[in-house]
Structure 1
Amino acid sequence: MSGRKAQAARNDELILQAARAVFTADPGAPIAAVAEKAGVGISALYRRYPSKEALLQKLCGDGLELYIEVTERALADEGDPWEAFAGYMRGIVDADTNSLTIKLAGTFHPTEELGRSAVKAGALATEMHHRAVAAGVLRPDVTPADIALLFEQIASIKLGDEERTSQLRHRYLTLVMDSLRVPPAHRDLPGPAPEDGELSARWWQPS
C-alpha cells in the first residue's frame, strides 16, 4: 500500500473499532462520538461512511460474516461431534457477534446483502444444530431458536473489564453446555463466580 492508502486503512480500522464500542454500549449515540473515540476527524469518518446508517450496516455485516466464518469452521470439524458443537458455541461467544447484530437490530434499515448473509448464517446454525442432534450429543428438545436466545443471554453479561467479562461468559456458557449435552456433563466451571462487590459496583457511578 502507498502511504496514503495505508493511513486510510488504519483510519478505517480505528473507526470500526470505535463504532463497535460506542454503538454496542449505546445504539443511539451520535456518529460524532465514534470520530472522537477513534481519534479521527469527522470529515475523515464521513469520507468512508457517509452516514450513521452506513456505519451500522457495516458493523452488522461484519458480525454476520464472523458468525458465518465460525460456524463453517465448526461444520468442517469431522472429529468428535460434541467437541465440534462446543467449539461452535465457544467461537460464537468469543466472537461476540450478538453485540454486532442483535444489539443493533431495529436501529437501521437492513440491505439486501445483509438479508442474504442473515439467511446463510441461519441455515448454517440450523445445520450445526441438526448434526449435533443426529449424532446423539445434543438434547433433541432444544431448537436452533433456543440456542440463538442462549447466545443473546450470554452476550448480555458485562461485568468488570473485557477479560473479566469473557471469563464470566465462559463460566455460564459451560453451565449451559452441560445442560445441553447428552448425557449431561458435570465439569469444573472456568473462572471464579462473581463476587457481591462486583455485582453491587454496577449501581455506583465513578466519582
Structure 2
Amino acid sequence: MSAPDHGPLSGRRAQAARNDTRILDAAREVFLADPDAPVAAVAARAGVGMSALYRRYPGKQDLLRALAADGLARYIADLEAALTAEAPPWDAYVACLHRVVEGGGQALAQRLAGTFDPTPELRRMAEQATRLADTLLDRVRESGDLREDVSGADIVLLLETVMLVDLPGADRGAALRHRYLALLLQALHNPVEAPLPGTPARQEDLVARWRARSAR
C-alpha cells in the first residue's frame, strides 16, 4: 500500500502559517498605533478574512496575549544577546536598544498594558524581561557611561515614544525611529551638561498601567 499523500494538508498548513504571520505583523502595526482598535482593522491590514483570523484567535484577548508573548520573547532575546556580548557595556547597550526598536516588541507590550488579562506565563516573561533589563542597565551604569539620573522605567517610556514615530513611505518611519533613538542615546550618555527636570519614572508606574484599564 502506498503512503498517503500529505500534499494538500501540508499546503493548508503552510497557508495557515503564512496567514498567522500576516495577522501578527498587521496586529503589531495596528495596536501599536491604537491599542483599542477593533480586530476588523487587523484583518483588513493583514488582507485576510475575519473567519481566518477567528480560526487562529477566537477573540481579541487571545490575539493581544499572543502579541504580548511575541513581543516579550523578542525583548528577552535582545537583552540576553546584549548581556553575553563581548563589546564594551555602552556599545552592547546601544546595539541592544536599536534591535529593540527594530523589532518593536517591547514597545508593543507596553502599549498593550491594561488591555487584556495576562496569563501566569506572560507575567513570568515580564518579570524575566525586567530582571534582564535591570541587570543590563546596572552594568552600563557601573561603567560610568550612563547618566545617573535616569531610571530603567525612563528607558522603557523613551523607547515607547520612539516607536510612535511614523511617516508614509517605504522605511521612512523605521529610519526616523533609529535617528531619534540615536539622538536620545546621545542625551543619555555621560558626561551631561545639566541635570534633568523632575524625578525619574518608576517601575511601579509601569506596573500600575496594567491595572488601569482592567479596573474600569
> Normalising by structure 1, what TM-score?
0.81
Deviation by residue 1:138-165 (Cα, 9 ceiling, x = unmatched): 2233221221121122122223335222
Distance 2:134 2:170 in 1: 30
Q: Deviation string for 1:10-48 (max 9, x for gaps)?
A: 111121122222222332222223223323232222121
Per the alignment, residue 131 of structure 1 pairs with 139
Is the Cα–Cα contact under 8 Å of residues 60 and 104 in structure 1 kept in the other structure?
Answer: yes
Letter in 2 for 1:177: L
Q: Share of identical aligned residues, percent?
A: 51
CA contact (8 A) 2:64 2:112 kept: yes
Q: Quick one: which of 20, 27, 33 aligns to 1:19? A: 27
Determine whether 1:88 maps to 2:89: no
Please, what is the CA RMSD of the aligned residues? 2.0
What is aligned with 1:150?
158
Structure 1 moving runs of 4+ over 4 Å: none
1:168 to 168, 176, 183: 176
Q: Higher mean Cα deviation, 141-150 or 60-69?
A: 141-150
Deviation, structure 1 residue 98: 4.1
Answering whether residue 82 of structure 2 is matched by residue 78 of structure 1, we say no
Deviations 1:71-111 (A, max 9, x none): 11111112222111111121112122244212222221111
1:140 is matched with which residue? 148
Give the 5 Å matches for 1:23-102.
23-102=31-110
SS for the counterpart of 1:2 is helix
Q: Structure with the greater relative contact order (CA < 8 A, sep ≥ 6): 1 or 2?
A: 2
Match of 1:43, SS?
helix
What is the CA–CA distance in structure 1 between the aligned matches of 2:117 and 2:106, rounded to whole Å? 17
Confirm or deny: 8 A CA contact 1:81 1:135 kept in the other structure.
yes
Distance 2:85 2:65 in 1: 31
Distance 2:167 2:19 in 1: 29
> What is the distance in 2 between the residues matched to 1:82 and 1:102?
24
Unaligned runs of 5+ in 1: 185-207
Check the 8 A contact 1:98/1:155 in 2, yes or no. Answer: no
CA–CA distance in 2 between the matches of 1:163 and 1:91?
Answer: 15
Judge which range, 137-146 or 83-92, deviates more.
137-146
Stretches of structure 2 that go unaligned for 5 or more consecutive residues are: 1-8, 193-216
Residues paired across the two proteins, number: 185
